[in-house]
Amino acid sequence: MNPPKTITLALTGASGMPYAMRLLEYLLQHGNKVYLLYSQVAQIVAKQEMDLTLPSRSRDLETYLYERYQAPQGSLRVFGREEWFAPVASGSNPADAMVVCPCTMGSLAAIAMGLSDNLIERAADVMLKENRKLILVPRETPFSAIHLENMLKLSRLGCVILPANPGFYHHPQTVQDLVDFVVARILDHVDIPNDLMPRWGETPTDQE
């Protein structure tokens, strides 16, 4: 069995909250530790897209998510954008990997410029300087030249740009199948085994 990992998951205000919540669910239910960071706009998107009312206070959100996913105690810590004493704010205590999902173009630009004006941006900056895996999941279309230039800059720095673009070769039957396609690709890039979807060249029976 693979040892559990510590993953920082940051929620920003782009569309695509179902990807983030499914990723969080999978990480917690498979023995990993999650540091969850979130913005105020992410709360608005969660309400709009999933009818989820995420509490504004980080401790209240932590309690809510523990109950929602029946997560083991100690597997989740939640931090707001200005909680600078969070472990993820320092290179002395980096997570194994960080995923920004969904990732706004504003957050992507700030990370590319190294602004570190809030905890999400600082945590991403820590991952880059410590040579840890950083995955950004943008949900935007079309991309402008500015967006593409920022993505190229981050890619050259070792960041994984993983747009929320589900494939169809696995013959999805539900919206959940499309969500799981993207989440499976994220899990692959943080080296967490999963069987959320058949792989290319496989049939569902090959996974059994």
User: Which residues in 33-156 belong to E strands, given as ranges?
Assistant: 33-38, 76-79, 97-103, 133-138
Beta-strand relationship, 6-11 and 33-38: parallel
Name the packing angle between helices 40-50 and 17-29 (round to 10°): 100
Beta-strand relationship, 133-138 and 76-79: unpaired
How far is it, in rounded angstroms, from Cα 47 to Cα 45? 5
Residue 38 three-state SS: strand
Tokens for 26, please give them. 């999978």
Amino acid, single-letter form, for residue 194: N
Query: Which residues fall within 8 angstroms of residue 17, CB to CB, at 6 or more apart?
Result: 11, 42, 45, 46, 49, 50, 52, 102
Binding-site sequence positions for FMN: 13-15, 39, 104-107, 139
Tokens for 93, please give them. 């205590």
Contact 98, 92 (CB under 8 A): no
Binding-site sequence positions for dimethylallyl phosphate: 169, 185
Binding-site sequence positions: 13-15, 39, 104-107, 139, 169, 185
